[in-house]
Amino acid sequence: MSIFTKVEIGRGLEINVDVESLMKQEAVFGHVVYIGLRNILMDCHANIVREDCVDDADYRAKKLAVAEKKLEAMMSGVLRAKTGSSPKTIIDPIEKEAFKLARVFVYGKAKGWEKGEKSAISYIAALAKALEMEGSAEKDILVAAIEKRAQKAEVLAAAKAIVDANSSEIEIDDLGI
């Protein structure tokens, strides 16, 4: 039996990947793991800016500490860690889908914040106030907003509908079990 996973490749496109077959191609699989880890570990420290650090050594040390913490969390099975609280693993497919829906909503509203667009900055400021996170990094505010929105009843209901629709496409007999 092969292990398949859907990979989102942008703009609503998905591709099914036979992970078990891919793992047999050691060089290719090693490269996939390297690129995946590299991207995840680079993204996790992206909100640390040079201006917030004493010098280059401090800047590099802070970035490395965040990357090491992320890798440690991943090695212990944690996919996402809540900002400012205990780590949380998202394994429930409905919760995972709710998180995706919330992320699309929040980042859609905040689009352009990195470029300093006024409406996006105002949205983040309103989120910060509502979440009592004034003075926090923008990315931390967005993550907290996503986590809060993912718990809303209407988002969870929409996520359940999506998961139910996707799971009904595969019959147990089709899996060869």
DSSP secondary structure of 53-119? SSSHHHHHHHHHHHHHHHHHHHHTT-SEE-TTS-EE----HHHHHHHHHHHHHHHHHTTTGGGT-HH
Alpha carbon 118 to its chain centroid, in Å, reads 25
What is the predicted pLDDT for the residue at 175? 47
Q: What is the pLDDT of residue 111?
A: 86
* pLDDT value for 2: 67
- The pLDDT value given to residue 85: 34
Compute the distance between CA of residue 165 and CA of residue 167 in angstroms, rounded to an integer: 6
Report the pLDDT value the prediction gives residue 30, as an integer from 0 to 100. 92
Give the residue extent of every domain in the chain: 81-177
Output the pLDDT for position 55: 92
Q: Which residues of the chain have pLDDT under 50?
A: 82-89, 170-172, 175-177
Give kind and range of the element (H or E) at residue 18: strand 13-18
pLDDT for 144: 87
